[in-house]
């Protein structure tokens, strides 16, 4: 069996971190098994779907390195849905219902008042042909429901949650088509998964009941269902579902300098028994991906953890990978010198400014004589080897200073910073003339 996964966003907005996690896991599973990863644009909601979001979804996946092997759009598949709809209707598995939204709300309230679950009572099935004709003559257009089979429990072995069993009698017959003829999610998705040969569906645990309903749809269409993996939902650092998670997406990550490899490294592992590691290459993530290591507890997404992971990945990036994003004139030697002190690639510009100058140096008046001596020493030491150790050795011998009183005034005068890259590697890049000028200022 050739593995085929799909990521099926609705183009009613941009991808957020939860969507990205699902897409990543679909991609990882396809890559691990030598299968295919498909993008399906679920754009049946014409009123809310926008082409700019379709383009944004493609761009986001490309930035993340999750390039699909193919793409389908539900808006191009309406004829297929119509044909399956008619087959299921002819088989008695789809029926028209005429209640308005207000009438359905009232039924739910009455059921709740009686201590009963808010399940649709199937009143539409009791209507005669004459009843339906009279309603339609009055201008009432039906919505359409899929008729669940109550004969046996719905069971499947979930790849994450294990054996699942739901009683269809405790569920409402799902609405699959609105009165205006537009489609809801349930049936088109099942049809597409069947027709596209999808073997594995990865989704959030909030879709468990939807899966139960769709399993009956697959059976009604005579199709073997895909395997399902229902992931625990993401939560924020406050320990609950956060609206902020719905606003965090690729645009935000790019704005704050997060590498796509850091996003992948974090989202591939949180919620699993595997450690989150700064893996800049995807091969290790692909090799270790396994639904059996996913836990049932909510997966905690922490932006601070992502930022720390990002810094560790930046420290691994070679010059050729980042050269297009570095300031003009900055070379491999400069990159290697400052890289261990960066949180993002963009931070390299700050240290390039320190190397090239001018800088806003900070100095204590008590260090004036010491820095004057440093300027004189800088003019006489050899600069073709290790000028930093030559300079500090000369100053230690001349002034008797050591430790912090020796090194900190020099770092401040030369870089304007209290901390930063190793001065042994940074001072040669600053160069003799600039160093003497800064020490003399």
Q: Please state the residue numbers annotated as binding site for ATP.
A: 243
Binding residues are 243
Distance, CA of 200 to CA of 417 (rounded, Å): 53
Are the C-beta atoms of 6 and 196 separated by less than 8 Å?
Answer: yes
Q: Distance from first CA to last CA of the chain, Å, rounded?
A: 73
Residue appearing with tokens 């644009």: 41
Where do the DSSP E strands lie in 284-328? 299-300
- In 3D, which of 22, 67, 57 has the Cα closest to residue 202? 22
Are the C-beta atoms of 28 and 289 separated by less than 8 Å?
Answer: yes
Backbone dihedral angles phi then psi of residue 204, each to the nearest 5 degrees:
-75, 160
- In 3D, which of 159, 152, 154 has the Cα closest to residue 199? 159
Distance, CA of 263 to CA of 260 (rounded, Å): 5
Rg of the chain's alpha carbons, rounded to an integer?
31
Please list, in sequence order, all residues whose beta carbon lies within 8 angstroms of the beta carbon of residue 137, skipping any fewer than 6 positions away. Answer: none
Would the CA dihedral through 234, 240, 241, 243 be positive or negative?
Answer: negative
Backbone dihedral angles phi then psi of residue 104, each to the nearest 5 degrees:
-70, -40
With the CA atoms of 129, 130, 131 and 136 taken in that order, what torsion angle do they form, in degrees rounded to the nearest 10? Answer: 90
Between 303-314 and 260-269, two packed helices, what is the crossing angle to 10 degrees? 130
Distance, CA of 157 to CA of 54 (rounded, Å): 33
Please list, in sequence order, all residues whose beta carbon lies within 8 angstroms of the beta carbon of residue 246, skipping any fewer than 6 positions away. Answer: 16, 18
């Amino acid at each position: 069996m050739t593995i085929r996964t799909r990521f099926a966003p609705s183009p009613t907005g941009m991808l957020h971190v939860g969507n990205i996690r699902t897409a990543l896991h679909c991609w990882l599973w396809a890559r691990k098994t030598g299968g295919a990863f498909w993008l399906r644009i679920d754009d049946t909601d014409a009123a809310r779907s926008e082409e700019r979001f379709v383009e944004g979804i493609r761009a986001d996946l490309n930035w993340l390195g999750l390039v699909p092997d193919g793409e389908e759009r539900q808006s191009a598949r309406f004829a297929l849905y119509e044909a399956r709809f008619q087959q299921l209707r002819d088989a008695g598995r789809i029926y028209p219902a005429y209640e308005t939204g207000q009438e359905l709300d009232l039924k739910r309230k009455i059921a709740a008042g009686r201590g009963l679950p808010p399940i649709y009572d199937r009143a539409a099935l009791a209507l005669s042909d004459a009843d339906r004709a009279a309603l339609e003559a009055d201008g009432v257009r039906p919505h359409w429901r899929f008729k669940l089979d109550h004969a046996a429990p719905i069971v499947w072995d979930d790849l994450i949650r294990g054996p699942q069993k739901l009683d269809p009698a405790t569920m409402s017959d799902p609405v699959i088509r609105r009165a205006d003829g537009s489609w809801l999610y349930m049936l088109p998705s099942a049809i597409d998964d069947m027709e596209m040969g999808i073997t594995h569906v990865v989704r959030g645990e909030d879709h468990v009941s939807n899966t139960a309903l769709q399993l009956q749809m697959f059976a009604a269409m005579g199709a073997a269902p895909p395997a399902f993996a229902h992931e625990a939902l993401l939560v924020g650092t406050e320990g609950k579902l956060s609206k902020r998670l719905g606003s965090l997406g690729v645009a935000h990550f790019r704005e704050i300098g997060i590498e796509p490899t850091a996003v992948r490294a974090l989202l591939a592992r949180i919620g699993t028994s595997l450690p989150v590691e700064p893996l800049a290459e995807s091969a290790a993530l692909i090799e270790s991906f396994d639904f059996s290591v996913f836990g049932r507890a909510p997966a905690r997404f922490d932006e601070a953890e992502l930022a720390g992971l990002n810094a560790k990945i930046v420290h691994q990036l070679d010059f050729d990978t980042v050269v297009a994003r570095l300031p003009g004139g900055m070379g491999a030697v400069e990159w290697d010198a400052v890289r261990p002190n960066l949180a993002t690639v963009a931070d390299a510009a700050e240290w390039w400014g320190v190397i090239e100058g001018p800088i806003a140096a900070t100095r204590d008046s008590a260090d004036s004589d010491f820095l004057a001596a440093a300027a004189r020493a800088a003019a006489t030491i050899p600069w073709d080897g290790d000028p930093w150790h030559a300079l500090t050795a000369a100053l230690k011998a001349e002034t008797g200073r050591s430790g912090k009183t020796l090194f900190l005034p020099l770092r401040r005068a030369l870089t304007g910073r209290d901390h930063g890259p190793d001065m042994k590697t940074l001072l040669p890049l600053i160069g003799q003339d600039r160093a003497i000028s800064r020490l003399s200022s």
